Amino acid sequence: METIYKDTVGKTISLVIEDDKGEAIDLSSSTVSLKLYSIGDNTLKWTQTCDVDDASNGLAHWTNIATDFDTVGMYYSLVYIAYTGGNITTVIGPSFEVVEKEENIVTIKEFLEFVDIPEENAKSDTTIKTYLEMAEVSVNKDVPSLKNTTDSDYIKLKKNLIKIKGAILYWLNSDEGNINPDARNSKIKLWKEVYQQELDNFNSVLSSTSTGDGVIRRIKSKDYDDPTSYLYED
């Protein structure tokens, strides 16, 4: 499922249309339409006509308009191929989760699953939401190019970084009366190392390509104001 910010415009959705055997469906002499449905009630939200790029290899695309992703929710799509003569073939298309741009893209449930803490043993939703908001601010400072990215792969990366940063904040603020301080400190150290490794891997990928969303690299500094950041030095 691809995550898309609400009100995204001009995003190209590439379709590789195949049959149940994984073989390309020939789109010659056909009209290809993408239909989006709400997950849960199966309500049809819209139908868009796609551009065929390579008919014999089943390749097509559609570029969304302003109203396509104007409602938060989870959606699935079906690709309808109408051939001259009346035959119609239907295949499963991509799925999307539309999220508010101003809200954190990591849900409390996703975060708790990530840190492996049962909901009944976790801190309040309000507290965790605050940690996730603080984590996103920190990630946006560490990797400015991720702040407004609409690239699906970079959104996944951003979500992972927010989870890691949120985990650091969660354990930093854990009550020592309810947790072994040594265990807490080891977890904080581990999450910081994982966070730095993720950023290093991202920088490594970016250094090998000249296209795509870039990152403004920052260096470690004693003046960095976030002691939970990998950029902070004592």
Summarize pLDDT for 177-210 with one digit per residue, the tens.
Answer: 555 666 778 878 888 888 888 888 777 766 654 4
List where CATH 2.60.40.10 sits in the chain: 2-99
Q: Quick: pLDDT tens for 57-75.
A: 999 999 988 888 999 999 9
Could you tell me if residue 103 is left (phi over 0), alpha (psi between -120 and 50 degrees) or otherwise beta? beta
φ and ψ at residue 202, rounded to 5 degrees = -65, -45
Residues 217, 203 contacting (CB under 8 angstroms): yes
Q: Residue 185: what residue type?
A: N
Q: Quick: pLDDT tens for 128-153.
A: 988 998 999 888 888 887 887 777 78
Residues 205, 213 contacting (CB under 8 angstroms): no
Q: Residue 105: what residue type?
A: I
pLDDT score at 177: 52
Token reading at 108: 């409390």
pLDDT score at 182: 67
Q: Tell me, what DSSP letter sits at residue 23?
A: P
**How far apart are the C-alpha atoms of 139 and 110, rounded to whole Å?**
17
pLDDT score at 150: 75
pLDDT score at 216: 41
Q: Quick: pLDDT tens for 149-185.
A: 777 788 888 899 999 999 999 888 876 555 566 677 8
**Mean pLDDT of the chain, nearest integer:** 81
Beta bridge partners of 74: 97
Residues 90, 78 contacting (CB under 8 angstroms): yes
Q: Could you tell me whether strands 30-38 and 73-83 are parallel, antiparallel, or unpaired per DSSP bridges?
A: antiparallel
Q: In this structure, which CATH number among 3.90.1150.10, 3.40.50.2300, 2.60.40.10, 3.40.190.10 belongs to the domain 2-99?
A: 2.60.40.10
Whose structure tokens read 């969304």?
64
Q: Quick: pLDDT tens for 99-127.
A: 876 567 898 889 999 988 888 888 888 88
